[in-house]
Amino acid sequence: MPKFVYDFTEGNKDLKDLLGGKGANLAEMTNLGLPVPPGFTITAEACRHYLEHGSVPEGLQAETDEHLAALEKQMGKRLGQPDDPLLVSVRSGAKFSMPGMMETVLNIGLNDESVHGLAAQAGDERFAWDSYRRLIQMFGKTVLDIDGDLFEEAIDDAKATKGTDSDLDLDTADFKKLVQVYKDIVREQAGRDFPADPREQMDLAVRAVFESWNAPRAILYRRQERIPADVGTAVNICSMVFGNLGMDSGTGVAFTRDPASGQQGIYGDYLQNAQGEDVVAGIRNTVPLTELERIDKASYDQLLGIMETLENHYRDLCDIEFTIERGRLWMLQTRVGKRTAAAAFCIATQLVDQGLITIDEAVRRVTGHQLAQLMFPRFDDSADKEQIAKGMNASPGAAVGQAVFSSERATELAAAGEKAILVRRETTPDDLAGMVAAQGVLTSRGGKTSHAAVVARGMGKTCVCGAEELDVDVKNRVFTAPGGVTVREGDVISIDGTSGAIYLGEVPVMDSPVVQYFEGRLAVADGDELVRAVDRIMAHADERRRMAVRANADNPEDAGRARRFGAQGIGLCRTEHMFLGDRRRLVEQLILADTDEERATALGGLAPLQRADFVGIFTAMDGLPVTVRLIDPPLHEFLPDLTELSVKVALAGDAADPADRRLLEAVHRLHEQNPMLGLRGVRLGLVIPGLFAMQVRAIAEAAAERRAAGGDPRPEIMIPLVGAVQELEAIREEAAGVLAEVAEATGVDVPALIGTMIELPRAALTAGQIAEAAEFFSFGTNDLTQTTWGFSRDDVEASFFSRYLELGVFGVSPFETLDRDGVGRLVRIAVDEGRRTRPDIKLGICGEHGGDPDSVHFCHEVGLDYVSCSPFRIPVARLEAGRATI
């Protein structure tokens, strides 16, 4: 039978799978000799068993008994002992941090008797009754599922009766009364009495924590953060220490560095005479941690020492939760802290400079996702803007949208495709859906460690918090700023998460410094610490990576930008846009052509235009490979809309233009029920004589022209949607003929590779045959995903993907991250078979997946030579291709 319970002295930080992050780190701190209140952890395995079977695993109860007995022995008192009660907290803690998502119950072990024992031992009656009412409140809400507002309203009433708005003004008698009121609420709402038996309290709380894993907000958070749904949570039973024992006590949270910038220093919030969640919940306003030096110098110094120990031990930024009980410091939690994208890059290089980590490790510690965030636009410094207030810069970015005051409204606007800024006094886990839906989050209370700040940073969402100058009236959906500014729901505001500024109206945005750097418009030497950090990390990733990175680009501007971003060629140059605009007329002629002559005229019109397009691209990518895909979409996409044209012809009646009639007939003829699976790709080339030949000729002539002008064009011709080698052979022969003709005619022989996209399952499965005719494969994983799953991307994403995500059919859309098991399997088969036939075959990917971090790692693993992605994703792909090798 597995071991289900670990004492804090038995675990360590590497046991997160079993003990969860919180439990593993409590154990690590205990073993480092830091002051952690004794306790033990019930494993996530026990939770998984409970969630699966609805009952705790056999043996858990006995093991818990044993550990509780040992804890009682160590503490010299029994759980809930009437004259001197041992109290514990029951705390959730999963492998992945999910701040505030699951439950914690404090002060377990109090009842009508032991509350007196606690009062006597502490010499403080008020404290004991405050602790007791907190227990009933947390227990009621968490374990008995009672609406937490009922308790909040009762305490608000008590404060109102007293004529105060601070809980500090409530006295023993008030808390005694409150305990009674709370008990009544429990009886009314839960139909049972609050359980007086300490062990029953504990066991019920443990189960409630297990169950909180499947609370809707936890599920939503996991989906957002892509945390697997089946890991479960561990439960920590931790002996209580008290921050609510008077003004020489308190509780706080801190970071070892600024999680927004990475700067070293003292960052945190502290609240005197308070317990647990009070700090993050914004019950009272906290003081900056630096104030603690004045309040309790000894504890402050000790805390700084511990923070340094933790940083050196974890070799990373840590966040911590601590409590001071009558001048004695206790550590209640630590973990490697969430940070902004900018801080991640800065901290990683700072730690290299401090000699704590290697540059390899630094590259591993930043992600492509973070880099992508740094490339988001900023507010334009030079724009006119009306700043109405300033808050704390909790999570960077530039967000613009309508002010909304509820999670529901934010979700509604998002559903309607509109942008919202969620404005709250403070956020709670219940606001999560709104935070996800909004462009940014603005709060008037709470510091950088408040719920809003922590969650927004985790999601990469812009957040300004603690803007105390704002008076937020959620009920009336309005806030006011100094100077008589009033903002109502629906008014547009702009918030700057990098500076904390809040503006009225829409502020224009500009390129971020990191983009300016990538574009070569900002020299490293002129950049700030972030730019220097990005530069160092990118340089090392480039040195490390095996795969090349190319761009999907089909015009000289994009090609040029991609090259500045580090692209080593073009992996996908689509040619469809070359058939749009004024050129539609020529495409119509081509489709309507009845004779070879008419067809030749139409193609002859298109050819020079195409040639000019290619000259531009070859120039921008001089010396680098350019993979040109011959035309792929069904031709009717270039014709007028069937309905519109039908109406036009019908209205004109007998007077209708004969050309329109012919066109209508063609549109009818080409109309397809399922164009994605219709006449497109290589099929067009086989059915419309001369179409592909014209394109190949344009490519060859453009290359010859560039070569004659002293350039170094490197064309690669790619045939789309091949399913059988015979298709490719036919086109290949035609193309080879054209290439030879052009070489002959121009006297310039530019070699061009001919290859194909692998985007049909049949192509993957017969890749060994196809490789006979292909010098390269490029995996078109958009179509390959569509055809493997039988999903039409345009139809399914909006209609049922959210249901599929909910059901866990997949954790993330297969169009976003390559489906390793299915589509990935086909890719592997094609790679193996292709290489077997043609060992030097070039292999790449050009679907959207080429810029997705996880998919880039997959491409590295299966041995592709390059990934190709949109120009803006190129730095991300470079970084991830480097990380994949480390």
Catalytic residues: 451, 846
> 713 vs 847, which CB is nearer to Mg ion?
847
Under rule CB under 6 A, residue 37 binds ligand ADP: yes
Check whether 759 is labelled as a binding-site residue: yes
CB of 714 to ligand ADP, least distance (A): 55
- Residue 814: is it exposed, middle or buried by C-beta count within 10 angstroms (0-12/13-18/19+)? buried
Which entry of Mg ion, ligand ADP, none binds 100, CB below 5 to 8 A by partner kind?
Answer: ligand ADP
Q: Which residue among 10, 225, 248, 277 contacts ligand ADP (CB under 6 A)?
A: 277
Closer residue to Mg ion (CB): 43 or 333: 333
User: Binding to ligand ADP (CB under 6 A): which residues in 71-100?
Assistant: 89, 91, 100
**Residue 680 CB, nearest distance to Mg ion (Å)?**
9
Minimum separation from the CB atom of position 525 to Mg ion (A): 42
Candidates 212, 333, 373, 766; binder of ligand ADP (CB under 6 A) is 333
DSSP string over 32-49: TT-----EEEE-HHHHHH
262 in the Ramachandran plot: left (φ > 0), alpha (ψ -120 to 50) or beta?
Answer: left
**Token representation of residue 46:** 């026990």
Binds ligand ADP (CB under 6 A): choice among 332, 423, 463, 628: 332
Give the residue among 563, 13, 532 at the shortest CA–CA distance from 310.
13
Least CB distance to Mg ion at residue 99 (A): 7
Q: Which is nearer to Mg ion, 63 or 321 (CB)?
A: 321
Question: Among 63, 311, 321, 701, which residue interacts with ligand ADP (rule: CB under 6 A)?
Answer: 321
Q: Which is nearer to Mg ion, 296 or 759 (CB)?
A: 759
Least distance (Å) from ligand ADP to the CB of residue 327? Answer: 15
Q: Work out the angle between the directed axes of helices 556-564 and 596-620 (0-180°, nearest 10).
A: 30
Q: Which of 540, 764, 589, 546 is nearest to 694 (CA)?
A: 589
d(CA 416, CA 471): 28
Q: Of 299, 323, 334, 462, which one interacts with ligand ADP (CB under 6 A)?
A: 323
Q: Is 574 annotated as a binding residue?
A: yes
Q: Which position among 21, 250, 259, 276 is part of the footprint of ligand ADP (CB under 6 A)?
A: 276
Residue 241 binds which one of ligand ADP, Mg ion, none, with CB within 5 to 8 A depending on kind? ligand ADP
- Closer residue to ligand ADP, CB minimum distance, 203 or 759: 203
User: Least CB distance from residue 388 to ligand ADP, whole Å?
Assistant: 33
Binding flag, residue 373, ligand ADP (CB under 6 A) = no
Among Mg ion, ligand ADP, none, what does residue 167 contact (CB within 5–8 Å per kind)? none
- Kind of pairing between the strands at 420-424 and 398-404: parallel
Angle between helices 125-142 and 172-190 (to 10 degrees): 20
Q: Residue 604, Cα to own-chain centre: how many angstroms? A: 49
Binding residues for ligand ADP, rule CB under 6 A, total 17
Chain residues that interact with Mg ion, rule: CB under 5 A? 321, 333, 759, 780, 783
Cα 78 to Cα 36: distance, rounded to the nearest angstrom: 19
CB of 323 vs ligand ADP, minimal distance in Å: 5
Any binding-site annotation on 762? Answer: no
Strand order in the sheet with 471-473: 471-473, 478-481, 485-488
Residue 628, strand partner residues: 573, 717
614: Cβ contacts below 8 Å, ≥ 6 apart: 628, 698, 699, 702, 703, 715
- Cite the DSSP H helix spans in 37-113: 44-53, 60-75
Q: Residue 545 annotated as binding?
A: no
Contact flag: residue 299 with ligand ADP (CB under 6 A) = no
Q: Is 301 marked as a binding-site residue?
A: no
Please, which residue, 235 or 752, has the CB nearer to ligand ADP? 235
d(CA 707, CA 749): 9
Strands (E), 585-742: 625-629, 714-719
844 binds, among Mg ion, ligand ADP, none (CB under 5 to 8 A by kind): none
Whose CA is closest to 700, among 611, 626, 612?
611
Give whichever of 261 and 333 is closer to Mg ion, judged by the CB atom: 333
Rounded to the nearest whole angstrom, what is the least distance from the CB of residue 50 to Mg ion in the complex? 22
Question: Which of the listed partners (ligand ADP, Mg ion, none) does 783 bind, with a CB threshold of 5 to 8 Å by partner kind?
Answer: Mg ion
Count Cβ atoms within 10 A of the Cβ of residue 828 and give its class: 0-12 exposed, 13-18 middle, 19 or more buried: middle
Question: What does 37 interact with, of ligand ADP, Mg ion, none (CB < 5 to 8 A by kind)?
Answer: ligand ADP
CA-to-CA separations, 691 to 144, 365, 600, in angstroms, rounded = 71, 50, 10
**Among Mg ion, ligand ADP, none, partner that 87 touches (CB below 5 to 8 angstroms by kind):** none
Q: Which residues contact 486 (CB under 8 A, 6 or more apart)?
A: 478, 479, 480
For ligand ADP, the closer of residues 238 and 635 by Cβ is 238
Alpha helices in 709-822 (DSSP H): 725-746, 761-765, 767-770, 781-789, 793-799, 801-807
Instruction: Between 711 and 761, name the residue whose CB sits nearer to Mg ion.
Output: 761
Minimum Å distance from CB 673 to Mg ion?
A: 19
Burial of residue 723 (CB within 10 Å: 0-12, 13-18, 19+) is buried
Residues 231-260 that bind ligand ADP (CB under 6 A): 238-241, 251
Under 8 Å CB-to-CB from 705, ≥6 apart: which residues? Answer: 611, 615, 746
Residue 759 partner contact from ligand ADP, Mg ion, none using kind-dependent CB cut-offs of 5 to 8 Å: Mg ion
For the beta carbon of residue 574, count every other beta carbon within 10 angstroms. Answer: 18
Residue 698 contact, options Mg ion, ligand ADP, none, Cβ 5-8 Å cut-off depending on partner type: none
Q: Say whether 629 counts as a known binding-site residue.
A: yes
Position 612, amino acid: A
Residue at 299: amino acid letter: S
Give me the residue whose beta carbon is nearest to Mg ion: 783
CB 450 within 8 A of CB 282: yes
User: Which residue ranges make up the annotated binding site for Mg(2+)?
Assistant: 759, 783
Residues that bind ligand ADP (CB under 6 A): 37, 89, 91, 100, 104, 106, 238-241, 251, 276-277, 321, 323, 332-333
User: Which residue ranges make up the annotated binding site?
Assistant: 574, 629, 759, 780-783
